[in-house]
Amino acid sequence: MPDKTNEKEKPSPVEDPRKTDQDISREEKIARLAEAGVDLFPYRAEQTHSVFAIVRDFAALTREGLEEKKAEVVVPGRILSIRKMGRATFATLSDSRAKLQIYLREDQVGEKAYRIFSLLDIGDIIDVRGTLFKTKTGELTVLVQAYAFLAKCQHPLPEKWHGLQDVELRYRRRYLDLIMNPDVGDVFRLRSLMIAEIRRFFDARGYVEVETPMMQPIPGGALARPFKTFHNALGIDLYLRIAPELYLKRLVVGGMEKVYEINRNFRNEGISSEHNPEFTMLEFYEAYSDYHDMMELTEELLHSLCLTLFGKEEFPYGDEVISFKRPFARLKYKDGLLSHSGLAPARFDSRSEVIAFAATLAAENQPLSYGKALDAIFDKLVKPKIVQPTFIIDPPKEISPLAKASREDPEQAERFELVVAGMEIANAFSELSDPQEQRKRFEQQAEELKKGDQESHWIDLDYVQALEYGLPPTGGEGIGIDRLTMLLANRKSIREVILFPLLRPR
RNA sequence: GGCCCGUUAGCUCAAUAGGUAGAGCAGCGGACUCUUAAUCCGCGGGUUGGAGGUUCGAGUCCUCCACGGGUCACCA
């Protein structure tokens, strides 16, 4: 079916929820403020400090110490609560990282300004100028001399005590989530720091960060179903990438010996607490190394992330404590199957029996090949039992069409997955560099594709041609950034670490 | 896609056995110059997700639909 994505479609109008008494009250206030000549949407605001900086720098001082300093501040923020007592008002100002109390007195700001302040609503953004002091209960507070409106909030905020609980609303209107739930901002600040640290890690080792196509004529580098789109001028189908892998290895052919990319992948598959259709992947490739080197590098990376970001090696995750102490455990794929699947070792000798057993686990996607059957058993029975960081080594070659065969067993691939808390966090191999072999593997995949397996790899002859010019021995790896964030931030759903996870449009 | 659970005021939640839809916060009016889930007095606010059905009577029972959460399947 031809894709119509470039044809303009009218955006569905934002529903205008019917007005409530609260909306009406705020409209009236806006009108009254306009009459009073108050500019509700000024162009810029003075600022000597952020709320966060004030709390950080002054909260520890004593009342007397603060008094001596006579600290004058101009600070913007959003009003989260108001406590009015006649001719004086306390309110809470927030900048999403911290909260700061402000204290407004009629005898300080004047009668008119105080009257106008009563038109302030919870949710409004204002700028206050004043002096820091501590109340008799010891709370750091700004005694306000003057204030200005920076933006009017036209809707009531979620309830102040319980915050915003509705999970759907939290994702659909992430801004409300960020305003009401300070933990949420912390997760995304952590994510940002983590990515910055990853860049520092690779840059320090001489890696070059690159960007490769997000729109590809042949979606390669992973076994997954792609999103399809259409380029009008060229008249061709394009696919959103499922992985950058094949392009990054073309760069290694070209002599960029250490490359990495942090960017989005798109897979047209189910949504779950561990899957979002678009997700962020780190991929890195290093010439002259193999998957053993990648294991070392992975341990080093994760260990250093933990120390740099948290200064510790152990983290709570749900009910578990995850330790990133080196070295991580290593478990042969085959041994994992033997020890965790509950299947008698002898039964692995019979290919048909393995396939039959796997079929009882996976109702869909039949008939399974031997390799896929093993993987189904592994994913279902073994992976969930692995809690501590563990390299799962040498899976079947059949499900690893881009990896070199194992030096120890030609039926296995030189590949590992890093599993933590039952989640696959990383996937790496000694990259297959023999173009003839690669062509053969692609052809085998094409057979599977013909049989109806939509997650087989497509044939990419342009990539084979690149290999024909010579890919040096190369270790390559992908690390799921979202899942790594889940681990470090102790979040059980990928939607808690993606600002705008995909939801059905309203 | 299957199964389970949910959807009631702007938000967080109640509502016995099928019998007048409530509370807190938020809002509005009033009192109050160190409060902090401020307090006190008063007021307004609902197509109970939608459409049918059973019943004298449905938030409650039944059917279908929509959306969400969890889980399984697929995947990273």
What ipTM was assigned to the predicted interfaces of this complex?
A: 0.89
In Å, what is the separation between the CA of A189 and the C1' of B76? 23
Higher pLDDT, A188 or A4: A188
Q: CB–CB of A394/A332 below 8 Å?
A: yes
Q: Tell me the pLDDT band of A9, cut-offs 50, 70 and 90.
A: very low
Higher pLDDT, A234 or A351: A234
Helix (H, G, I), strand (E, B) or coil at A441: helix
Q: How large is the average pLDDT for residues A171-198?
A: 93
Minimal CA–CA distance to A387: which of A340, A423, A334? A423
- CA A118 from chain centre, in angstroms, equals 41
Element (H, E) at A291: helix A291-310
Per the CB < 8 A criterion, the answer to whether A264 and A277 are in contact is: no
Q: What is the SS3 assignment for A91?
A: strand
Report pLDDT digits (tens) over A215-273. Answer: 999 999 998 889 999 999 999 999 999 999 999 999 999 999 999 999 999 998 888 88
Is the distance between the Cβ of A385 and the closest atom of strand B smaller than 7 Å? no
All CATH 2.40.50.140 domain ranges in chain A, comma separated: 21-157
Round and report the angstrom distance from CA (A186) to C1' (B27): 31
Q: Does domain A21-157 have CATH number 3.40.50.150?
A: no
- How would you label A380-418 residue by residue, b for 16+ Cβ within 10 Å and e otherwise? ebbbeebbebbbbbbbbbbbbbbbbbbeeeeebbbbbbb
User: What is A180-328+388-496's CATH number?
Assistant: 3.30.930.10
**What whole-number distance in Å separates Cα of residue A338 and Cα of residue A332?**
10
What burial class does residue A434 get, using C-beta atoms within 10 Å of its C-beta: 0-12 exposed, 13-18 middle, 19+ buried?
A: middle
Residues present in chain A in total? 506
Contacts of A450 (CB under 8 A, 6+ apart): none
How long is the CA A96 to C1' B22 vector, in angstroms? 34
pTM: 0.91
Residue with tokens 């342009």: A462
Encoded amino acid at A290, one letter:
D
> Any atom of strand B under 7 A from CB of A158?
yes
Residue A481 has pLDDT above 70, yes or no: yes
What single string gives the DSSP state of each residue in A336-355?
HHHHHS---GGGGG-HHHHH
**What is the nearest nucleotide to A134, using C1' and CA?**
B34
Burial level of A312, CB count in 10 A (0-12/13-18/19+)? exposed
Nearest-angstrom CA–CA distance, A120 and A78: 11
Q: Provide the pLDDT confidence category of residue A339 given band limits of 50, 70 and 90.
A: confident
Task: List every span in chain A annotated with CATH 3.30.930.10.
Answer: 180-328+388-496
A window 425-454: Cβ near strand B (< 7 A): 427
Q: A367: cis peptide before it, omega within 30°?
A: yes
Is the CB of A277 within 7 Å of strand B?
Answer: yes
When pLDDT is averaged across residues A479-489 and rounded to a whole number, the result is 94
Positions 135-154 in A, CB within 7 angstroms of strand B = 135-139, 141
Q: Is the CB of A106 under 7 A from strand B?
A: yes
Distance CA A506 to C1' B51 in A: 19
Neighbours of A353 (CB within 10 A): 15
Q: Looking at the C1' of nucleotide B71, which residue has the nearest alpha carbon?
A: A272
pLDDT of residue A1: 33
Query: What is the rounded distance in angstroms from the CA atom of residue A298 to the CA atom of residue A312?
Result: 17
Lowest-confidence range among A53-57, A98-102, A447-451? A447-451
Å from A151 (CA) to B9 (C1')? Answer: 27
Give chain B positions with protein CB within 7 A. 1, 9-13, 24-28, 31-39, 44-45, 67-76
User: What pLDDT digit, counting tens, does each position of A423-470 carry?
Assistant: 999 999 999 999 999 999 999 888 887 777 777 888 999 999 999 999
pLDDT over 70 (residue A18): no
Centre a 10 Å sphere on the Cβ of residue A111 and count the other Cβ atoms it contains: 10
Which residues are A283's β-sheet partners? A261, A478
Residue nearest to nucleotide B27 (CA to C1'): A22
- What is the model's pLDDT at position A288? 98
Residue A166 CB: number of other CB atoms within 10 A?
12
Q: Which residues contact A443 (CB under 8 A, 6 or more apart)?
A: A459
Q: Is the CB of A7 under 7 A from strand B?
A: no
Mean pLDDT computed over every residue of chain A: 90
Whether residue A308 contacts residue A197, with contact meaning beta carbons closer than 8 Å, is answered with yes
R_g over Cα of chain A: 29
Q: Which nucleotide is nearest to A266 (CA to C1')?
A: B76
Which residues 280-339 of A interface with strand B at a CB distance below 7 A?
Answer: none
Least confident span in A21-25, A189-193, A330-334: A21-25
CB within 8 Å of A438: residues ≥ 6 apart = A402, A432, A463, A464, A467
